[in-house]
């Protein structure tokens, strides 16, 4: 399963029982946490997320509503006896903050904590089944979005064809990864005649906090699912710009330009109690839009 579970959909000050940004990405048997606002560990408990399976934590930027819950989550993992290595990808200064807080509490973690500093755009995690890329966004402070891409699945063997050409089973794996086969007589048999392409890998992009920036549409081009922040309604464009955030129309416009399959909007300003209008406005530009609702899971 490849899916995204929303743990927090609000911006800045918590309001109306909405929580600051946090999302769990399920990638088969691994969990990835994106952002970790205050109270994320309580949300993890509420939605019965399996703590132990979180391998990576990605922090987009160092505004509190995106990371103040991180040190509490790490401390609870320690108290609950975690042993597996935990990888944290975030702005360089985050490492100092974590270590300072562990030091003053005299906490010696029983698991390894590997810090991956985010510096340039590009792949930051390369796992056997997926990669994670980061890209810079335009925010008041250094901020990044993330794209999790399932690796392209191996090609399917055409059983009839390989038997017809007497290809040894030991070569099947290389065929699945696209190699051509040369038989004993020196004849090259092209891969395309022996295998069939599998479905394209799915991909999830998380926008981070950002101004309306058409470059993001290029970066998230064709992803299966895009989460883009929509802090304000469309009539607040000036305010959004001033605060380095986006509106409903701007988020939906990035989704349209990026030709993505589906859009989720979130990071709602605490000034709004009701969210229906967010959905209506975004759909005016990009019909396949959904609201980030806490506890909801979107399968890709």
Q: Known catalytic residues?
A: 65
**Beta carbon nearer to a copy of itself, 119 or 165:** 119
**Beta carbon nearer to a copy of itself, 105 or 259:** 105
CB distance 2 to 150 below 8 Å: yes
**Beta carbon nearer to a copy of itself, 101 or 239:** 101
3-state secondary structure of 130: strand
Q: What residues line the site for a copy of itself (CB under 8 A)?
A: 12-15, 38-39, 41-42, 45, 62-64, 68-69, 71-72, 75-76, 79-80, 91, 93-94, 96-97, 100-101, 104-106, 140-141
Min separation Cβ 138 and a copy of itself, Å: 14
**Beta carbon nearer to a copy of itself, 53 or 156:** 53
Q: Give Cα 247 distance to the centre of its chain.
A: 21
Find, among 270, 229, 267, the residue nearest to 21 by Cα. 267
**Beta carbon nearer to a copy of itself, 105 or 277:** 105
DSSP of 196-231, one letter per residue?
A: E--PPPPEEEE--S----HHHHHHTTT-SEEEEE--
Min separation Cβ 195 and a copy of itself, Å: 50
**Beta carbon nearer to a copy of itself, 74 or 251:** 74
Structural tokens at position 173: 């794996």
Min separation Cβ 9 and a copy of itself, Å: 15
Min separation Cβ 137 and a copy of itself, Å: 16
User: What are residue 43's phi and psi, to 5 degrees?
Assistant: -65, -35
Min separation Cβ 80 and a copy of itself, Å: 7
Q: Which helix (H) or strand (E) holds 157?
A: strand 156-157
Min separation Cβ 13 and a copy of itself, Å: 5
DSSP of 74-128, one letter per residue?
A: HHHHHHTT--S-EEEEE-THHHHHHHHHHHHTT---SS-EEEEE--SSEEEEE-S
DSSP 8-state assignment for residue 63: S
User: Contacts by 231-239 with C-beta closer than 8 Å and gap 24+?
Assistant: 231/11, 231/267, 231/268, 231/269, 232/269, 233/272, 233/277, 233/278, 233/281, 234/281
3-state secondary structure of 148: strand
């Amino acid at each position: 399963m490849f899916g995204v579970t929303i743990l927090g959909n609000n911006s800045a000050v918590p309001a109306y029982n909405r929580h600051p940004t946090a999302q769990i990405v399920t990638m088969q048997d691994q969990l990835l946490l994106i952002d970790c606002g205050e109270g994320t560990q309580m949300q993890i408990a509420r939605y019965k997320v399996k703590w132990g399976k979180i391998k990576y934590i990605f922090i987009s930027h160092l505004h509190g509503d995106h990371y103040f819950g991180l040190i509490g989550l790490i401390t609870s993992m320690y108290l609950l006896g975690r042993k597996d290595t935990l990888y944290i990808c975030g702005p360089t200064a985050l490492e100092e903050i974590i270590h300072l807080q562990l030091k003053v509490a005299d906490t010696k973690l029983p698991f390894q904590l590997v810090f991956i500093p985010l510096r340039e755009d590009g792949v930051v995690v390369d796992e056997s089944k997926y990669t994670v890329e980061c890209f810079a966004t335009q925010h008041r402070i250094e901020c990044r979005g993330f794209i999790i891409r399932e690796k392209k699945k191996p090609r399917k063997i055409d059983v009839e064809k390989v038997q017809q050409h007497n290809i040894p089973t030991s070569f099947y794996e290389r065929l699945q990864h696209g190699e051509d086969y040369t038989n004993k007589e020196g004849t090259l048999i092209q891969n395309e005649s022996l295998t069939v392409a599998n479905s394209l890998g799915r991909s999830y992009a998380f926008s981070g906090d950002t101004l309306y920036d058409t470059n993001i549409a290029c970066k998230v081009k064709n992803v299966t699912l895009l989460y883009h922040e929509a802090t304000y309604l469309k009539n607040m464009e000036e305010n959004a710009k001033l605060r380095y955030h986006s509106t409903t129309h701007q988020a939906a416009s990035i989704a349209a330009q990026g030709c993505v399959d589906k859009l989720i909007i979130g990071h709602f300003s605490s000034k709004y109690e009701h969210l229906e209008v967010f959905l209506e406005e975004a759909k005016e530009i990009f019909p396949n839009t959904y609201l980030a609702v806490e506890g909801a899971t979107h399968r890709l």
